Amino acid sequence: MNSLPTRTIGPFTVSAIGLGCMNLSHAYLPRPDMADAGRLLCHALDAGVTLFDTAALYGFGANEELLGRTLMHRRREFTLASKCVLAEIDGKRGLDGSPGAITRVLEDSLRRLRVDHIDLYYLHRVDAKVPIEESVGALARAVEAGKIGAIGLSEMSAATMRRAHAVHPIAAMQTEYSPWVRNPEIAVLDACAELGAAFVAFSPLGRGLLAGNPNAVTLLPGDIRGAMPRFQSPHLEANLRLVEKFRSLAEDAGRTPAQLCLGWALAKGNHVVPIPGTTSIAHLDEDMATLSHIWPDDLLAAVDRLFCVHAASGPRYPRDAQAQVDTEIWAGESLA
């Protein structure tokens, strides 16, 4: 097993770049077969990745089952993160932040993952029908019972995070963050630093578009990005013009666009831990090679200028998904 530079999440020391496991089983297309997905997970662990992020939602449990089958014989070598609140309800994606539902989903996750303890367990979204204090209280009781080690939140505001933190220390906030999604800079990045929490950046490659992944441009039917305005015309064409300028910045620096995305995120603070996802071993190795590079301030500033607020065209979520997100928005940001 190789060794990569590390960062901390609560009590855990993890590789400075983790692995988001969602697209091995969920959301994006095409997906690998299970044998290839298993090989990628094992390769990631051998390459020094020590943070693996899954959720009850992903593949309606299939992603947790994949990790359970593939990695748990090496359980002591990595930090395991999963999520509740979003899960399968009556065969469909459902949201339930009630304490009873959280307890049921946690038990299902433990069974699928083949473990009796999950290191870091997130509330995947805020449930507007349930006070955040009640949802966090359910996880606090799971900590006391030894079923989880630390509590995280996902796609929530700084104000919600502070309310949660008053009930139980929050180890991590996980939110979309990349050069074209910079909403965490409004308040959440600073709140994490203030409260001693890590900021875990999901989709740090702009859901593949900023990395130049052709599958993010020509989407297959059923790929969830097809419902996201930024991947629809006319927004897509405008965003591809930004992507080409970004590609030129990376090329001039002798780096790949994926590496520039990750280097940019890592430079935003020592508490930032990006978790790119991939179905390709070659791309995983490319991502981890980011950690061996130095990122000049002028290059990072050029990325900031290119992707200034409102530079990206279109909302990041469709309206129904945006309704389940509690993160701050920029003044004048379109949510339609």
Domain spans in the chain, listed from the N-terminal domain onward? 6-209+260-295
Arithmetic mean of pLDDT, 39-58: 98
Strand pairing of 19-20 and 79-84? unpaired
Q: Check pLDDT > 70 for residue 154.
A: yes
Strand pairing of 148-154 and 170-176? parallel
| Strands, E assignment, 203-282 | 272-275
Cα–Cα distances (Å) from 115 to 34, 51, 59, 65, in that order, read 20, 16, 19, 11
Q: What is the pLDDT of residues 70-113, one digit of tens each?
A: 999 999 999 999 999 999 888 889 999 999 999 999 999 999 99
DSSP, collapsed to helix, strand or coil, labels residue 185 as: helix
Q: Check pLDDT > 90 for residue 63.
A: yes
DSSP 8-state assignment for residue 283? H
DSSP string, 101-168: HHHHHHHHHHHHHT-S-EEEEEE-S--TTS-HHHHHHHHHHHHHTTSEEEEEEES--HHHHHHHHHHS
Gap between the Cα atoms of 198 and 85, Å rounded: 21
Question: Is the omega angle on the peptide bond into residue 169 within 30 degrees of 0, that is, cis?
Answer: no
Gap between the Cα atoms of 309 and 306, Å rounded: 9
Say what the pLDDT of residue 62 is: 97
Gap between the Cα atoms of 202 and 19, Å rounded: 9
Sequence length of the chain is: 336
Arithmetic mean of pLDDT, 311-333: 92
Active site residues: 58
Arithmetic mean of pLDDT, 308-332: 93
Say what the pLDDT of residue 334 is: 79
Determine whether domain 6-209+260-295 maps to CATH 3.20.20.100: yes
Q: Is 2 left (phi over 0), alpha (psi -120 to 50) or beta?
A: beta
Residue 173 pLDDT grade (very low, low, confident, very high; cuts 50, 70, 90): very high
Average confidence score pLDDT of the chain = 97
Say what the pLDDT of residue 332 is: 86
Arithmetic mean of pLDDT, 22-46: 97
Residue 260 pLDDT grade (very low, low, confident, very high; cuts 50, 70, 90): very high
Q: Check pLDDT > 70 for residue 220.
A: yes
φ and ψ of 176, to 5 deg: -60, 130
Half-sphere exposure of 22 (CA within 13 A, CB side): 18
pLDDT more than 70, % of the chain:
100
DSSP, collapsed to helix, strand or coil, labels residue 33 as: coil
Compute how many other C-beta atoms are within 10 angstroms of the C-beta atom of residue 331: 7
Q: Check pLDDT > 70 for residue 336.
A: no
Arithmetic mean of pLDDT, 268-283: 98
Q: What is the pLDDT of residues 175-209, one digit of tens each?
A: 999 999 999 999 999 999 999 999 999 999 999 99
Q: What is the pLDDT of residues 288-309, one digit of tens each?
A: 999 999 999 999 999 999 999 9
Cα–Cα distances (Å) from 33 to 62, 185, 245, 286, in that order, read 12, 37, 34, 21
DSSP string, 40-74: HHHHHHHTT--EEE--TTGGGGHHHHHHHHHHGGG
Q: Which two tokens stand for residue 274?
A: 């990006």
Residue 152 pLDDT grade (very low, low, confident, very high; cuts 50, 70, 90): very high
